[in-house]
Structure formats: C-alpha cells, structure tokens
Amino acid sequence: MNNSTIFDNITELPNADVKRRADALVGFNKRFERVHNNLKLLIDQEGLIEWSNKHHKVKLPVLETILDRYPLVLLAGDAGTGKTVSAEGIADRMVRELGKDGFFLKLSTRVRGEGLHGQMGNLVNNAFDRLKQEAGKKRIAFLFIDEADAIATTRSTHQMHQEEKAAVNTLIQKIDEIRSLNGRAIIFMSTNRLHFIDEAIIRRAAIIMEFERPDENERKELFTKTLDGTGIKDKEFDKLVELTGPDKNNGLGYSFSDLTLKILPEAVAESFPNKPLSFEVLENVIKRVKPSPQII
C-alpha cells in the first residue's frame, strides 16, 4: 500500500478553501473555541513550559499531567451534521492561530471498504508512520480518521475477527505513541455510532464533541445567511425554520446537509432560469423533500 492509496486527500494548511468552508458554517466559532481551549496546552508545549518558568521559576509538576494527555478528538453525531467539514476547519484555524504550518491527512474510506481484514493493521501502521514523518517543529500534522467505527469498533463485539481486534490494538498503541511527538500530531476521529467505538479509545479522547441536527436558531442563521438578498421576509424565514424543525417532521428535523445539499439547491434549480427564488418555492421543496433518517 503506498501513500496515494491510504489517504483520500492530503491538504497543506493554512488553506484558503478550507477556511472559506469553515467560515460559512453555522456555529463554527463555538466548536473551534472548545477544541482550541482544550488542545492549546498540548500543541504549544514550549509556550507552556516558558509560561511556567516565567511565572513560577520552575516547570510545575502539574504540567506533566497535562502533557500526558492524548492528542485525540472524537467527533460524534448523525450523518450530515458537519463532522467532516468541521474537522478540517478546526485544524486550519488552529495552525493559523499558532502561526505554524499544518498537514492534514485524511485516511481513505475506500481502502477500508475493501474489507481486507489482515490489511487493517498495516493501514493503521502506514498512516501513523506518515503522520510522524510530517510532524515537525514548525508543522503540526493532523490525521483524520473519518467514519472511525470501521476501524475502532469495540473489541467486545463477538463477531469480530482476530485481525480486526489486532487492528484496534494497533490503533490504540499508535495513539499512545503519538504523545511522544509533544503535540506536533493531532488525531481526529469521526463516527456516526459512538457506542460502537472501543472503550479504550473513548477513554483516551481529550474531547468528545457531539454534533446534532441544527436547532431553531441555527436553522434561522443558515437560512438568513444563505438566502440574503432574495427579499424573503423575516416572518417567512420563521416559517421555513418551523417547517424544517422536529415538530413538523415526526420528531426529527432536517440535518445541515439536508438543508445545504438538498433543499437549497433544489429550490434554486426550480427557480432557475425564469423566476426569482421565493418563499413559496422553498416551501414546496420542503414539503416534497423529507429529512434524512437518523442513523442508529
């Protein structure tokens, strides 16, 4: 397996496209702050030691405990709630704030899809080897394992093959080893099914960030941001918010991707090229296109 097959894509950070996508996300700042506050001590270890020396004249013992944490972030939630776009956006903003470069490696789902049990361990080994290579004094390397349940499934499942269990063990061991890079490598894992993820991995996560379908305020922000200039009135926006919420949809509202990748494009397609994008068009599309089912 060479690197071009293990990774779906490799992005150098900072990256203008990634930033643009992140800036368009509703609620991104709050998510970034949470991850950043949690990881800033891990990724700026030199700064932390300097701070301790400056204010206390010693390296405080408490730093050992802090620096002993795992640089692992778990992103959990339903399909289309923004886990993947948020991960790269957070990585991008993190390197910008630190004034460093970054390297974002996205582990391919294609390789895992082939179901070559014996290969899973190799895949994990190769991915972490590359991660270590790319992590440097001036550069933070991020490894993103999307749909991590495909690799990190709990070992307590009975149907699990020996080779798959071995791959989970390897993954855990690699996460442990990454600590020796002193914050120059960060691992993000995303999953639709947090309850399938191995307990040892859950326990190591510095942050578990849950992603939900957008609430009322978030839907309103999304509609008003993306439909600015259409002339749609505030009352009509409120109606769109209501129509896409759980109360009008048997308890399950529209996901972010239902709105951005289905409703909005369909409404534009229905209006183009002969009429303006109106509240009525949106209302009709919403009636026709239902929210995606929840993954359980």
Ligand X SMILES: Nc1ncnc2c1ncn2[C@@H]1O[C@H](COP(=O)(O)OP(=O)(O)OP(=O)(O)O)[C@@H](O)[C@H]1O
Phi, psi of 185 (to 5 degrees): -135, 135
β-strand pairing of 207-211 with 72-77: parallel
Q: Report the nearest approach of ligand X to the CB of residue 150 (Å).
A: 12
- According to CB under 6 A, which one of 60, 63, 79, 208 is a site residue for ligand X? 79
**Could you say which of ligand X, Mg ion, none residue 81 binds, taking C-beta under 5 to 8 angstroms by partner kind?**
ligand X
Tokens describing residue 67: 């620096």
Q: Report the nearest approach of ligand X to the CB of residue 30 (Å).
A: 10
CA 215 distance to own-chain centroid: 19
Binding status of residue 170 toward ligand X by CB under 6 A: no
In the chain, alpha helices (H): 3-6, 16-23, 28-43, 45-56, 62-67, 83-98, 109-113, 117-134, 149-152, 162-178, 199-204, 216-226, 234-243, 256-257, 264-271, 279-288
Neighbours of 97 (CB within 10 A): 13
Phi, psi of 278 (to 5 degrees): -120, 170
Site size with Mg ion, rule: CB under 5 A: 2
Which range, of 9-17, 24-32, 99-107, 122-130, touches ligand X by CB under 6 A?
A: 24-32
**Could you say which of ligand X, Mg ion, none residue 244 binds, taking C-beta under 5 to 8 angstroms by partner kind?**
none
Q: Which is nearer to ligand X, 160 or 194 (CB)?
A: 194
**Residue numbers 26-55 binding ligand X by CB under 6 A:** 26-27
Q: Which is nearer to Mg ion, 84 or 249 (CB)?
A: 84
Q: What string marks each residue from 215 to 234 as x (binds ligand X by CB under 6 A) or -?
A: -------x------------
Which DSSP letter does residue 136 get?
B
Q: Report the nearest approach of ligand X to the CB of residue 230 (Å).
A: 17
What does the DSSP assignment read for 263-292?
A: IHHHHHHHHTTTS---HHHHHHHHHHSPPP
Binding status of residue 256 toward ligand X by CB under 6 A: yes
Binding status of residue 84 toward Mg ion by CB under 5 A: yes
Q: Which is nearer to ligand X, 170 or 260 (CB)?
A: 260
Binding status of residue 257 toward ligand X by CB under 6 A: yes
Binding status of residue 25 toward ligand X by CB under 6 A: yes
**Could you say which of ligand X, Mg ion, none residue 108 binds, taking C-beta under 5 to 8 angstroms by partner kind?**
none
The answer to whether 105 and 150 have CB atoms below 8 angstroms apart is no
CA 144 to CA 105: how far, in whole Å? Answer: 6
β-strand pairing of 101-107 with 72-77: unpaired
Q: Report the nearest approach of ligand X to the CB of residue 158 (Å).
A: 26
Phi, psi of 12 (to 5 degrees): -85, 135
Site size with ligand X, rule: CB under 6 A: 18
Q: Report the nearest approach of ligand X to the CB of residue 109 (Å).
A: 9
Q: Report the nearest approach of Mg ion to the CB of residue 11 (Å).
A: 15
* Sheet strand arrangement including 139-145: 7-13, 101-107, 139-145, 185-191, 72-77, 207-211
- According to CB under 6 A, which one of 80, 89, 102, 121 is a site residue for ligand X? 80
Q: Report the nearest approach of ligand X to the CB of residue 70 (Å).
A: 22
Chain residues binding ligand X by CB under 6 A are 25-27, 79-85, 190, 192, 211, 222, 256-257, 260-261
Site residues (vs Mg ion, CB under 5 A): 83-84
